[in-house]
Structure 1
Amino acid sequence: MKGLFKRRSTWWVRFTPVPGSPQMRIALGTDNESDAIIKAREIIARAETQVREEMESCETEIAGYISSKRRDGLSESTLSSRRYILRSVANFIGAASPRHMTSAGIRKWFESRKAINPHTAVAYLYVVHLWFKWMIERGKIATDVTTSVKVPKLVMRQRRNFLTQAEARLLLDECHNEGLKFAIYCGLHAGLRKLEIIEARPGWFDMEAGLLHVQATPTFQPKDRDNRTIPLTEEFRTWLSAYGLRKPFMLEPNIVKGSYRYRYDFRKAFDSLAKRCGFDWLTFHDLRRTFASLHVSRGTSVYKVARWLGDGVDVVEQHYGHLIPQDHEINGAWETSSRHQKTAR
């Protein structure tokens, strides 16, 4: 039998369970060749099954997918979110590998997510679909079980998307947690995204020049990989002088790694504050929208707002263009006509 050899008085077997796996050497505990062959075949069969399942485990395939998408240029925040979603569905179903994921399991997982938030459930299902599509393209699985899920037709969410200046002031005044207040200032006065705030470093803040530079760090890549600079408002700058520049992170510097996608998450504290202020509808991302809407409605150029947000001008115009103040040039065509009529009379 190939791989069978004798060392002193005991038979051993040497084999590679599956291509690409490490070679194994196992003592068979017998000096009888016939018994050794029987034992060797049993051991090899068990090892092949075990190693194949380990190599194709959900965690291994998720890691491979994430690595592939990182090479494709997806941002670390997007990759972190996808990793969390894929791990959550694998854990919910309890599948050892993607091959053990069934249509029934996926549907049960989807229904549990839908009961919490239908829009989130649909978004999560799409991420799982992309993962299965990636594995099918590489011949790792044969079918996409996510296609068995009947996706509901969702009604567009009706939600107020930003605060008035008075409401924004109330939110700041009612916040007595300095870490959370730092986050709120970053959202309302600088338009920063949640991950940007959590990953903010002291080197981003030039207090002397009054500038905030959103920059790449060893743990963070700005969206679209573009660094940007935002002027600090006088109010935020004054508050920061008392708060101080903290290392290595501006927010909760002692927390290096969280259990979720973020290093640190202030969602519960923020939701509690918003509810206390009477803003049950408010999400933290609405603070970024508030920053943009207040600026556009007061005449700040769309170009500047887009540059501060790190978004395209067309995106800002699409979402906030209706807030641009009344343009008195609308009267220009008629003013000339009126003067001409008066002269003619």
Structure 2
Amino acid sequence: MPVYKNEKAKGDKKWFYQFYTGEIVNGKRKKITKRGFKTKKEAEKAMIEAMAAYQKGEYIEPSKMLFRDYLQDWIKTKRNLGEQTLELYESYMRTHIVPALGHIPLAKLTAHDIEMFLDSLHEKGLSAATMKRIFSVVNAALNAAEMKDLVPKNVANKVEKPQVTRRRELVVWDPDFVSEFLEKTKYASRYWIAVYLAVMTGMRQGEILGLRWSDIDFEKRNLTIQQTVNRHREIKAGAKTKKSVRSVAISPETVEVLKEHRKMIMEERVALGPAYQNNDLVVCTQFGGPVTQRAIQKVWNSFLKKTGAPKITFHDLRHTHASLLIKQGVHIKVISERLGHSSVSITMDTYGHLMPNMQEDAATGLDTIIKTKVSRK
């Protein structure tokens, strides 16, 4: 194998490969050389891949590969990401990253290019949080390029990351307002049940839209989240993360509300007969099909307008659910499990500020179990 070691090279990446393509260019045999490998084995593996790509006509010299072409290859390796996260990455690439940086060869991308890119995002009026997420995509892609020896180093590491100085304040409703809101909107739309489930279970919108009747155990009063509906109305098995596939206990009243809703669904199913699309969905169109997130948003906006309620997002109902549990003194681990967070630390980081009296309550509670009287003689 034409793999060599350059003892004079700086650092520990001394191995390189070199092979002839079989073509003659300007009277000379064309060869391809790639340097910067830590071990002979790494160099051999990379050379075999490069030779195979060249024979298929898919080989692109690293110095000529455009950043947009690299990103397309890189995103294909990220299939382990959740579907919504993957869609977000692709959206950032399509809308912001590729238009600004895609024309630059990967090997020639500089820290200055990325700094100018961040400035352009700021000029567009994007929030610091959004800029940080977009930068994270660029940084992750370049980290992978460095690991694969496509670039000597990740130039994004030289760029100051966008700082999020203040997280968006969570807007939640108090229990009395939630009760009033649900009562006023109950018969305003068939999709009211989605709002009710968001408040009473803390489920994500995609999880609510994917919930089936077969996922609900009315006797044991719990439901299991096993599938979701994405923004394209596609039913997908699983959930956002492994922890998101979970069981959630439901209240006796929630059981009754669901049974009442099921009666309406069964009547529609009988009326339509063979024309009914039986997806077994709790939240569905009158024909039984999956509901679009846009349809839910439209109904949600109409509810806010009808009641004059403070404007919050549908997702804020999930935060409202968490706040209601906190007010009841439910343990943070239980809240984390209900929400399907990957760790309790995420729950604490998100809702810790809603528990300002926990320290005080803990200290005061000690007096109930330690019966020591202090007196002076």
Structure 2 residue identity aligned to 1:230: V
Change (3 A) 1:60 1:137: same
What is residue 288 of structure 1 aligned with on the other side?
318
Alignment-derived partner of residue 132 in structure 1: 142
The equivalent of 2:279 in structure 1 is 247
Structure 1 residues 196-227: Cα deviation after superposition (integer angstroms, max 9, x where no partner):
22433443223343211012577243344133
The answer to whether the Cα contact below 8 Å between 2:74 and 2:141 also exists between their aligned partners in 1 is yes
* Residue matched to 1:332: 368
Q: Give the Å deviation of 1:323.
A: 5.8
| Match for residue 20 of structure 1 among 47, 53, 58 | 53
Q: Distance in 2 between matches of 1:92 and 1:121?
A: 15
Structure 2 residue runs of 5 or longer lacking an equivalent are 1-21, 24-50, 229-234, 266-277
Percent of residue pairs identical: 18
Between 1:75-84 and 1:140-149, the stretch displaced more is 140-149
SS of 1:69's partner is coil
1:221 is matched with which residue: 218, 238, 261?
238
Alpha-carbon distance in structure 1 between the residues aligned to 2:206 and 2:332 = 24
**2:29 aligns to what?**
none
- Is structure 2 residue 236 aligned with structure 1 residue 203? no
**Partner residue of 1:42?**
none
What SS does the corresponding residue of 2:53 show, helix, strand or coil?
coil
In structure 2, the residue corresponding to 1:235 is in which secondary structure?
Answer: helix
Match of 2:74 in 1: 65
Report the Cα distance in structure 1 between the residues aligned to 2:55 and 2:212, rounded to whole angstroms: 43
Counting helix residues as a fraction of each chain, which structure ranks higher? 1
Instruction: Say which SS state the counterpart of residue 173 (structure 2) adopts.
Output: coil
For residues 77-226 of structure 1, the aligned pairs below 5 Å read 77-90=84-97, 92-93=99-100, 95=102, 99=106, 102-103=113-114, 106-107=117-118, 109-113=120-124, 115-140=125-150, 151-157=161-167, 159-172=169-182, 173-174=184-185, 176-179=188-191, 181-215=192-226, 219-226=236-243
Per-residue deviation, 1:85: 1.9
CA-based RMSD of the aligned residues comes to 4.5
Aligned partner of 1:30 in structure 2 is none
User: How many Å separate the matches in 1 of 2:119 and 2:295?
Assistant: 28
TM-score with structure 1 length normalisation? 0.64
Q: Please list the CA deviations of residues 138-177 of structure 1 after superposition, one character each: whole Å capped at 9, or x if unmatched.
A: 2445675656866554431362442201222344334733
Specify the SS of the correspondent of 2:88: helix
The Cα of 1:335 is off from its aligned counterpart by 4.4
User: TM-score when scaled to structure 2?
Assistant: 0.60
| Inter-CA distance 60–275: structure 2 relative to 1 (3 Å threshold) | farther
For the pair shown, the structure with the greater C-alpha radius of gyration is: 1
Please give the alpha-carbon distance, in whole angstroms, between the structure 2 residues aligned to 1:336 and 1:235: 45
CA distance 1:252–1:67, change in 2 (3 Å): farther
Answer whether contact 2:202 2:317 (CA < 8 A) is retained.
yes
CA contact (8 A) 1:59 1:87 kept: no
Offset at 1:231?
1.6
Seen in structure 2, the aligned counterparts of structure 1 residues 302 and 144 have a Cα distance that, compared at 3 Å, is closer
Q: Which amino acid aligns with 1:197?
A: I
- Letter paired with 2:336: A
The answer to whether residue 310 in structure 2 is matched with residue 279 in structure 1 is yes
- How many pairs align? 294
Please, which runs of 5 or more residues in structure 1 have no aligned partner? 4-17, 25-47
